[in-house]
Each structure stands twice: as C-alpha cells, then as structure tokens.
Amino acid sequence: MSTCCRNYDEMIHLFVDGELSGRQREAFLESLRRDERLQDEVARYRRIIRTLKVFAKLKFPSDRLRKARAALVRRVSGLS
C-alpha cells in the first residue's frame, strides 16, 4: 500500500469494520490480493473480533442467575 505505516494499520481496522469508502476499499482489496503480510494481519484481527463475540454466548449458572433476578425484583418492588 502506498500509505505510511500508521495509515496502513488504520486502514486494516476500517476494512475489517466495513468502513472504507468504495474507492478506498477497492485499493485495499488490490493490496490485499498482492500482500501476504497484509492478509495475515487482516485474518488475525478478524479472529480476535470473532473471538470477542463469544462473550455474548456465555452461560451463567442458572441457580445463581435465578437468585440475582429474584433479588432484583425485590429491590425494584421496594421502589414502586
């Protein structure tokens, strides 16, 4: 890519977040086709972001979750 290192890094994040404009995206994809190091970087960031999504799928112990919900209902009932 014909940009400095800081922009290079910046472009990777914008690309993985789908925030590059049409022309920027085209140029980035062209670089991506030719540059293996860039392909690795993009793949690495995508893996990190995909891995972070697993927090949304955590299963908490159901008995403790039930207790926390019950305590919340008691607190809220005390307000109304």
For another protein, the closer of residues 29 and 73 by Cβ is 73
Q: Binding mask 34-53 vs another protein (x if CB under 8 A, - otherwise)?
A: ----------xx-xxxxxxx
The structure tokens 């993009």 sit at 42
| Site for another protein contains 62 (CB under 8 A) | no
Task: Please state the closest distance from residue 80 (CB atom) to another protein, in A.
Answer: 4
**Which residue in 7, 10, 26, 39 binds another protein (CB under 8 A)?**
10
Which 3 state secondary structure label does DSSP give 78? helix
* CB-neighbour burial class of residue 16 (10 A; exposed 0-12, middle 13-18, buried 19+): middle
Joined together, the tokens standing for residue 1 give: 């890519």
